Structure 1
Amino acid sequence: MGTIVDATNMEGIKSALGEKNPKIVFVLGGPGTQCANIVEHFGYTHLSAGGDLLRAEKQTCSEYGAMIETMMFEGVIVPSEVTIRLLANAIMENENDKFLIDGFPRNEENRAAFESVVSFTGIVPEFVLFFDCSEEEMERRLLTRNQGRVDDNIDTIRKRFKVFVESSLNVINYYNSKGKVKKFG
């Protein structure tokens, strides 16, 4: 994966996304949701906006790498512009036209920023999968997945869950008002 598209190329991102016209499903829930079965059975490409894309960018030593690392460790949300550019790059670099975007939008600002980028293209999420799990269950899953991630510790997990409750539930309510939420417990 390449580094983030230069800020002067936002129009290029909008144009490329419009031409590709991808089908997008957002996956929201507290930290630790799993998407492998959906990808395997329905042919989507999984893009982990809150995790894998950010970790990959962090490794490129780009201008955003240190900021991403700090924000992930603190359990706070990376700026929308950074995440949207990473998502756009991943979508444009992939031959598939169906994307399961995991962990995005995490707050109202993310949602509004994404919609402003794709507003003229007609791209809207097909639907939003909402995995509604307890904090205890998410802690258990994250602490036992044993992937050696610096952000898989009890303090960061609890911060992430608090951020989820304070920020992401508003996004879920927004999409629910549009009839686009499919909830799983």
Structure 2
Amino acid sequence: MMSPTPLRLLAVLALGVSLLSGCTPTPESTPTPSPAFTSEEEAFAAAEATFSEYIDALNRVDFSDPATFEGVFSHLSGQAAESTRRAFSQFHAQGVLTSGATRFLWVSGVSADADSGGVQARVCIDVSEVDVVDSDGASIVAPDRPALQPTVVTFAATANAASTISDLQNSEEFTCAS
């Protein structure tokens, strides 16, 4: 049998441990990430708005003034950003000029991931009014360039919840019918 002193020490120790456990901070709960979009319709609408802003910025580009590139770059990420930066830098260095406006006739959503914010869409781009000329004023547009370009566009969500264009690929899977 234990003497009263060790029992008291055990009781004090148990009380101390229980008091200390009451002083430990409760672990912070980790927030559950909310989906980037609440529906496919919302995702497709955001993608179309992003693409429209991108086209507007693209039409304001002046290759003689690199400051005008930033509006386009702000709508791009990933492979699309890398390839566009290279092309714009090259066009600036070569003294390339553009005229006319790029338009898009329609955007059609293909898929959307509400959790990641990733969206893929088919877009019909109209470049019929666009000419690109070298520093001598000669057109560098291929004579067989189609005026309407079917393109698959991939959008990625960013930290601020706005989507960016992460990839643009010409497509032969569909045609542009205006």
TM-score, shorter chain, exceeding 0.5: no
Max Rg structure: 2
Q: Structure 1 or 2: larger strand share? A: 2
TM-score w.r.t. the length of structure 1 is 0.26
Q: Structure 1 or 2: larger helix share? A: 1
TM-score w.r.t. the length of structure 2 is 0.27
